Amino acid sequence: MQLMNRFPLPSTPAKFGLDILNRASALALLAGAGQTRKDGLTPQACHYFAVQGVLAQVGVTDYSLHAVALLHDAVEDNPGERGQLLRSEIARTLGSEVTAMVDSLTDNTPADMPRAERKALQLKRLSQAPLQVQLIKLADVVASMREGPAPYWTPDYAYAYLQQRGQLVHTVLAPSSSALVTCFEQALEQPAWQVVIGAAGRP
């Protein structure tokens, strides 16, 4: 399986900022190929670039962190052989530091595990992760919340999602960036989330 035919990259790890971003961007486009966000229309890669944009918005300048933001879900969104090949390409072209952070952000829990159990394990895993990983996860949460709830979610599911995201932010991720916590709170002010919060008389 020649994964990189569409996006051929040099074989040595990147050393310079723009080179890192170019390689990470190419891999992000490959990782998201043929996939969409929860609205069924937006290309999945748009989310990867949105997370990277959130980091830029709050002044993060470390190119390696921007690369990880672009690739934070690359392996998770491509289970099986394709995901392993993507991980190999990340390691080969971006080095061990970026790969380790991507690994820390990858949810490897079984797909058939109940959502509540998966999210509890995620909470524990991220609480033990380096601060830089927590920062990128917080940017991921902000980008997702800005999208609003999926059109097919039930009110109960949307509220449970919001509650879980809030718990993750305030109990684990908040120390990584107060600016991103503010972004998260601002995202909740969107009308779509306010409808969810106000449904069934919830406070």
For 24-33, write each residue's pLDDT tens digit. Answer: 999 999 999 9
**DSSP for residue 111:** T
Global pTM value: 0.89
How many separate helices (H) and strands (E) can be counted in the chain?
Answer: 10, 0
Q: Examine the pLDDT at 123 and tell me if it is beyond 60.
A: yes
Question: With 60 as the cut, is the pLDDT of residue 10 above it?
Answer: no
Q: How confident is the model at residue 115 (pLDDT cuts 50, 70, 90)?
A: confident
Domain range 9-201, its CATH number among 1.10.3210.10, 3.40.50.2300, 1.10.540.10, 2.60.40.1080 = 1.10.3210.10
Structure tokens at 60: 């993060």
Q: CA 175 to CA 41: how far, in whole Å? A: 34
Closest-CA residue to 46 (of 180, 183, 134, 144): 144
Look at residue 71 in the predicted model and tell me its pLDDT.
98
Taking alpha carbons only, the member of 98, 106, 30 closest to residue 65 is 98
- Residue 191's alpha-carbon distances to 44, 198, 203, in angstroms, are 23, 10, 15
